[in-house]
Amino acid sequence: MKRPLAYITAAWSGIPEVDMNLAANFCRSAYEAGLAPICPKLYLPLFLNDSVPGEHKDGIDMGRDMLKRSRMLLVCGGTVDEDVKNDIAVAARYGIAATTLEGIMNVKGQGSPDSAGY
């Protein structure tokens, strides 16, 4: 089965360990819902130094490119910050559907992600 690419976005805390854990959980839920999750938060920090302006910009550019290649934008978590709003705007500009993880889980008949402890 070919899974549609789903770009994962959320209002990240800025604490790398917390964000990586959340990202992994969101990706797992998306995978279980039949999607192929793409989440730059999981791997870009492994080789990019966000405190270096050029690398920070490269990370943003790479993330935007991944979003443009995705079938949908999956907004995760209960908060929407400026980064999430920007992702939603980019998705809208390119005709990419935006939805929530909770919405996907309900449509798939699997309940909400909160029931899984996320």
| Cα 58 to chain centroid, rounded | 17
- Determine the Cα–Cα distance for residues 27 and 7; give it in Å rounded to an integer: 9
Place 107 in a pLDDT band, splitting at 50, 70 and 90. Answer: confident
- What is the Cα gyration radius of the chain? 14
pLDDT at 65 over 50: yes
Helix, strand, coil percentages, rounded to 5, for the chain: 55, 15, 30
Q: Is the pLDDT of residue 115 over 70?
A: no
SS3 (DSSP) at 75: strand
The pTM for the full model equals 0.86
- Which string of b and e fits 34-63 if b means at least 16 CB within 10 Å? ebebbbbbbebeeebeeeeeeeeeebeeeb
pLDDT in tens, 77-105: 989 999 999 999 999 999 999 999 888 87
